[in-house]
Structure 1
């Protein structure tokens, strides 16, 4: 396995926003991020909307750790998508990504996201319009599911994206009807790979290194997109990287994660509305419980808190206790030789 096989950070509305992008790319191992989708409904959006979703545009289109961010658009009207893509391109994203996978009812009811997987011709028109509208050097990629109700049009949809000018395709290995229920059907991706010549990236249910290896084997894709798995285990990309170069994988310790948790809370307090702040921390701790037993205790304590000052004090104390424990461990006398 090549150590250069890309690992992408998934776009997840309401979860993997610019705050978590910043924190998770600080941990390391991620090659590229994709933003939460920006919904295009007919009007030409002002720059401030793009910047709200992707504040990294003020940093050369990269997170503070230097990881590029590709901006994702969602919509079904080729003209409006093209006009907004052209406006967005002027702000300097790493590329433009097109969402053909969102399963949300509201989005699908208006013909966006996964709803377009029933209309390959419409997909081709959207991709081609965006490709023509943005500078030739700017990558235009796409993300799809296996289909809407079933996977019968999966190859045709992928071919439509390629024919429209997409340079890369992420496949979330579930249909719209599957939602986010396990499993992900990685074994259906090879048929899509055989139908197109552009690179494919596999996505869905990658929670561990072993999941990543099984996904690669079943899908035939070296490149992976990580979503909830890396939110629950921020060291996942690093662990996959270590395996790829033959090193022993070492889990990211809870004590090492706590400073990133503090950074996350500071960013949340600086950038989100007061009513959103406590909920965002609880949301992340809730997912971290899947990987860290200590996150359960943290979640139980924070769950009942609503006051920002109280939560800030709790976070600072947790980081201080972890630092003190690590220092005490470094100073402990070595065990006598046997």
Structure 2
């Protein structure tokens, strides 16, 4: 059963893929993951593409640790998104999420992601078409930003999504123009939460327990979605739960993280080519060093390595 104050793991293209979902949900504390976006551009994707992004579909739409994963679709053509959602539904996902928040120019140039926030009617048409295309029991949720340049259409966008049939709305508390620059404007989520009758989840710039508490205070949302904060501090969800008074097994320190770093390396070694896997390990360590001094030392030790065999040897020393 989901907790009274759900904590979700965010979709993050190029970072929070099935490998990190596997490892982070082994550590635990999150109720559900959302996949990186699957881009829909005019054709119905074959099953192998959905499975490449969300291999958890072969495991009941759950990570190996048992945490549900909801695939996310991104596009601008309502009919094509609906057709792809119907194809995805045959693989029995936990639900279908729709991306109205990606700020990347390469996505926005084609009318996808946050670019759609200038046209609430387009949001309505997409959600309505997808909701009609998938079985009634399947949740259809959405993620949006505050707007493109400002939050002037935020309430209209949120109402369009809810009225079209979205069962849940995640709000990243920045505009497309803001990108990922701090701060996140959590206080602007409060009016959105009041404007719709569906659950609203607050997202953006939650790095610490104090951030989570302040976000809840300003947004009025108890449900949170963690992104880079959970990658930098894999124990963040548990720490938030501990601050909420929930019984947890203990803090997640470097000693607890080392076996998961090893698991991460083994999984990427199986799925990715040499240089790419070394880059992925450096990418995670680079974020981990925000929270863990030991990760700073580890990053400095491997930052010049490019040969997977050298990283294998380094990892063996860590196990010892």
TM-score of the two chains, using structure 2 as the length reference: 0.98
> Is 1:46–2:67 an aligned residue pair?
no
SS in 1 for 2:141: strand
Task: Report what 1:284 is aligned to.
Answer: 284
Task: Report what 1:92 is aligned to.
Answer: 92
The answer to whether the 8 A contact 1:76-1:126 is kept is yes
Task: Report what 1:130 is aligned to.
Answer: 130
Task: Report what 1:6 is aligned to.
Answer: 6
Query: How far apart are the structure 2 equivalents of 1:126 and 1:205?
Result: 28
Alignment of 1:26-65 (within 5 A): 26-65=26-65
Query: How far apart are the structure 1 equivalents of 2:129 and 2:85?
Result: 9
SS in 2 for 1:276: helix
Larger radius of gyration: 1
Query: How far apart are the structure 1 equivalents of 2:302 and 2:57?
Result: 33
Query: How far apart are the structure 2 equivalents of 1:130 and 1:319?
Result: 47
Q: Deviations over 1:36-94 (max 9, x none)?
A: 00000001101000000000001010000000000000001011000000000111110
Query: How far apart are the structure 1 equivalents of 2:273 and 2:309?
Result: 15
Please list every run of 5 or more consecutive structure 1 residues that lacks an aligned counterpart in the other structure: 321-338
Task: Report what 1:181 is aligned to.
Answer: 181
Cα displacement (A) at 1:312: 1.3
The answer to whether the 8 A contact 2:275-2:307 is kept is no
Query: How far apart are the structure 1 equivalents of 2:274 and 2:125?
Result: 41
Task: Report what 2:109 is aligned to.
Answer: 109
Alignment of 1:148-163 (within 5 A): 148-163=148-163
Q: Deviations over 1:162-214 (max 9, x none)?
A: 11100000000000000000000000001111111000000001001111000
The answer to whether the 8 A contact 1:3-1:244 is kept is no
Cα displacement (A) at 1:319: 2.5
Query: How far apart are the structure 2 equivalents of 1:240 and 1:281?
Result: 26
Q: Deviations over 1:84-110 (max 9, x none)?
A: 000001111100000000000010000
The answer to whether the 8 A contact 1:243-1:249 is kept is no
Cα displacement (A) at 1:249: 9.4
Task: Report what 2:23 is aligned to.
Answer: 23
Change (3 A) 1:314 1:240: same
Query: How far apart are the structure 1 equivalents of 2:17 and 2:183?
Result: 25
Task: Report what 2:241 is aligned to.
Answer: 241
Show structure 1 runs of 4+ deviating over 3 A. 246-251
The answer to whether the 8 A contact 1:239-1:249 is kept is no
The answer to whether the 8 A contact 1:38-1:73 is kept is yes
In angstroms, what is the RMSD of aligned CA positions? 1.3
Query: How far apart are the structure 2 equivalents of 1:90 and 1:135?
Result: 10
Alignment of 1:324-335 (within 5 A): none
Please list every run of 5 or more consecutive structure 2 residues that lacks an aligned counterpart in the other structure: none
Q: Deviations over 1:246-274 (max 9, x none)?
A: 66995311011000000000010111233
TM-score of the two chains, using structure 1 as the length reference: 0.92
Query: How far apart are the structure 1 equivalents of 2:250 and 2:209?
Result: 11
